[in-house]
Structure 1
Amino acid sequence: MKTFVYNGQPARVIFGSGTISTLPEEVERMGLQRVLVLATPPQEADAFRLAKSIGERAAGVYAKATMHTPVSVTEDAMRVVAELNVDGLVAVGGGSTTGLAKAIALRTDLPQIVAPTTYAGSEMTPILGETKDGAKITQTSPKVLPEVVIYDVELTMTLPAAMSGTSGMNAIAHAVEALYARESNPVVSLMAKEAIGALADSLPVIALRPQDPEARWKALYGAWLCGICLGSVGMALHHKLCHTLGGTFDLPHAETHTIVLPHALAYNAPAIPTVIDNLRAVLKADPAMALYDLAGQIGAKRALSDIGMPQSGIDIATDRALANPYWNPRALEREPIRELIARAYAGEPPQA
């Protein structure tokens, strides 16, 4: 008989197809008068279209969001927020744009409306990871939880198949770790298993048919649930490793999660037999190998060496991953952790 605590995160979610059309009324409903629309440089045109739809309540566009949320970019955005007398934020894009909105909200407590275009899931969490001087620092605060999230399947239809795959694998990582988190509970576990199944089914379809609307709907649905999982419980070894690798070597976020996930799960497998059984029911095979195979099926890279990590980084990452103690279901041991990172570097199959 298990004792557990469940904390639900407050957020208004609008989910469907064409739902971005509700943005102007959401801005009005929240009483916002000077909204800044955020985006990455490639999505600047999308940001301007949303600003136009908002009309006179749009104060401007800031399209310089960057991967890993560098503090320097946030400080530049803060200057614009002050100059334009902004009273609310609209973020359109993936984790980079959502991260910038959260970083601004942390410093200003401005309300956020987020319209995700990827499967990152961070829009459903009170978690912010910022990078400064080559180190990524993660913190949790209710200030950074977006007030409104508008999920529009149509916004994901143009997401390239390769990016869709790694973004979806990143989302799966949130749900996998939620199953064995110290704060795991029946509600989150139900969502996690549903989410993993939805993404494992839909990502291979998207790899073959990127315009398949049902697969896109299912993937976005799974990503939403994964985001709730990430925001409701703590994470462990997998996320610690990915933050270490991403912050230290400036590796692409989703690709790093895709590569590390099977290895981190294999490492923890001996300590979480019940979770492994639950995952088998969803993935229909040895879970760690199933995730490794899924990455191959969607055409994702499976070696850290292929996304920019130097071989010398194996020992650096090992040291940093062990530098600050954190909870994990299996005790953190230096040599097995180094072997995990080495196998992920080489792209070898996971091994417990």
Structure 2
Amino acid sequence: MIAQPFFDTVKHREIPTGSLAFLPTERVVWGFSILDSLGDLLRDFGANRVVLLTTASLVAEKTLLVRVERALDGLLMGRCASLAAHVPAEGVAQARRLYQKTRADTLVTLGGGSVIDAGKAVAGELLDAGWPKPVHVTVPTTLSGAELSHYFGVTTTKDAVSVKRSFAREDCTPGVVVYDPAATLATPSRLWTSSGIKALDHAIEGLLSRPPNPVVDSLALLGIRRLATAIEKSLDVDALGERLEAQLAAWQCFFAPGSVPLGLSHRIGHILGGTFGVAHGLTSCATLAPVMRMMAPAAPARLAAIDAALDLDQLFDLTAPQSGDALRAADRVEALVRSLGLPSRLGALGVEREQLPTLGRILRETYPEAMRQLAGGSDDPLKELLHDMW
């Protein structure tokens, strides 16, 4: 193994010129028992009439929802709990109509990435209709990172074919993020851990998909180490400290989404979800490691640094040259997926081998910019990549 500097374009300790774009997230709050003071937090932001967006599963579980609705006493005007995975367009329209009917001024999203994305989509529809921008306070129950970004997807269905379309709207970014580990206790273990792999995907694709950035890259690598250290321990629902560690690690992994482009792993994941019905978090379990292997020749130093961050048996020091192996980084991600009991192949997620050409065609048509990440290795690198995933 050859020790390599983290910034592979930096020589003689020169720092390249760069910039960092921030989204309009006004506040991130973290800690224990914040849920109980949620109403006071909302009032600080001028909230008077709140619509709560959540899921049927949290309605059925009751405990978390009761706690949140109690904290919103006097503010809550309505609740929409019919928001399904991958954000169907009809669910967004239903939530938007409820917001308008109740003359609300604030959205609270309680749930995982799909619910939070639905909140962004509702905000977008309201803005497009000439309504004032709603206050959007989000309480994540997973590690998906949707609460931090301006990205969201909405699934439309035409002629029995579902397609998930991606949007990037800074004016739809949630304004307030609340990290309370108690909000995650009702999250099924499989969803919790798979969303942790999605958080790793944010960090790793950010490192592989853009020029070096000395701030975001360092946070991403520290987030990778922090999340890999905490995720398995956080499966114990009594380990609230480890759960909060995982939440903060996911934030580090996706600290500046305005400066972090999405790459092939995420784009393929959007198609797997919107068209093939694969759960959002699980997509990265099958797509991330193969994309890393495909990119090893183009980004060896960056993948070596990721390998070092994932090596929990060794100290990780960003100030020292990174001794790691580009291909081994992908192996470590795949090993982590399997150690968490998650599927690591598309075949195990219900995707048939005969469907791979359709997946490839939709990727080419929908995300041509992501295709630029593919290079060499075969006459048809996309075919090779999808075969590796399957």
**Under a length normalisation based on structure 1, what TM-score does the superposition of the two structures give?**
0.92
How is 1:1-352 mapped onto 2 (pairs within 5 angstroms)? 1=14, 2-11=16-25, 12-44=27-59, 45=62, 46-108=64-126, 109-133=133-157, 134-182=162-210, 184-207=212-235, 209-284=236-311, 286-323=328-365, 324-327=367-370, 328-331=372-375, 335-345=380-390
Question: Residue 59 of structure 1 aligns to a residue in which SS?
Answer: strand
Kept in 2, the 8 Å contact 1:272–1:329? The answer is no
Letter paired with 1:232: S
Q: Using the alignment, how far apart are the partners of 1:329 and 1:310 within structure 2?
A: 25
Q: Using the alignment, how far apart are the partners of 2:287 and 2:252 within structure 1?
A: 21
* Alignment RMSD (CA, Å): 1.8
**Count of residue pairs the alignment pairs up:** 344
Q: Using the alignment, how far apart are the partners of 1:201 and 1:319 within structure 2?
A: 38
Kept in 2, the 8 Å contact 1:175–1:230? The answer is no
The structure-2 alpha-carbon separation of the partners of 1:86 and 1:48, relative to structure 1 and needing over 3 Å to count, comes to farther
> Whose Rg is larger?
2
Structure 2: gaps (5+ residues): 1-13, 127-132, 312-324
Structure 1: gaps (5+ residues): 346-352
The structure-2 alpha-carbon separation of the partners of 1:61 and 1:334, relative to structure 1 and needing over 3 Å to count, comes to farther
Q: Using the alignment, how far apart are the partners of 1:299 and 1:153 within structure 2?
A: 22
Q: Using the alignment, how far apart are the partners of 1:151 and 1:214 within structure 2?
A: 12
Question: Residue 130 of structure 1 aligns to a residue in which SS?
Answer: strand
The structure-2 alpha-carbon separation of the partners of 1:339 and 1:202, relative to structure 1 and needing over 3 Å to count, comes to same
Q: Which has the higher helix share?
A: 1
The structure-2 alpha-carbon separation of the partners of 1:273 and 1:70, relative to structure 1 and needing over 3 Å to count, comes to same
Letter paired with 1:344: M
The structure-2 alpha-carbon separation of the partners of 1:213 and 1:53, relative to structure 1 and needing over 3 Å to count, comes to closer
Question: Residue 73 of structure 2 aligns to a residue in which SS?
Answer: helix
Letter paired with 2:135: P
Kept in 1, the 8 Å contact 2:58–2:186? The answer is no
Letter paired with 1:20: L
Matching residue of 2:130: none
Kept in 2, the 8 Å contact 1:17–1:154? The answer is yes
